[in-house]
Amino acid sequence: MDIQIETHGLEQLTARLQTLRHETRYKGGRTAGRKAANVMADAASLKAAQIDDPKTAENIIKNIVVRWNGKQFKKTGDLSFRIGIRGGARTKKENDMNPGKDTWYWRLVEFGTIKTRAKPFMRPAMQESTQEAIDTFISEYQKAIDRAIKRAQKNGGTA
* Nearest of 69, 46, 60 to residue 125 by alpha carbon: 46
pLDDT in tens, 69-124: 889 888 988 888 989 887 766 666 665 655 556 677 777 888 899 998 998 988 99
| Domain range list for the chain | 21-150
* Nearest of 24, 27, 31 to residue 157 by alpha carbon: 24
Angle at 125 between CA 124 and CA 130, to 5 degrees: 105
- Contact at 8 Å (CB) between 112 and 122? no
Percentage of the chain modeled with pLDDT above 90 = 26
Least confident of 59-63, 81-85, 92-96, 132-136: 92-96
pLDDT in tens, 35-57: 999 999 999 989 988 887 777 65
CA–CA distance, 92 with 7 (Å, rounded to integer):
43
The whole-number pLDDT of residue 94 equals 61
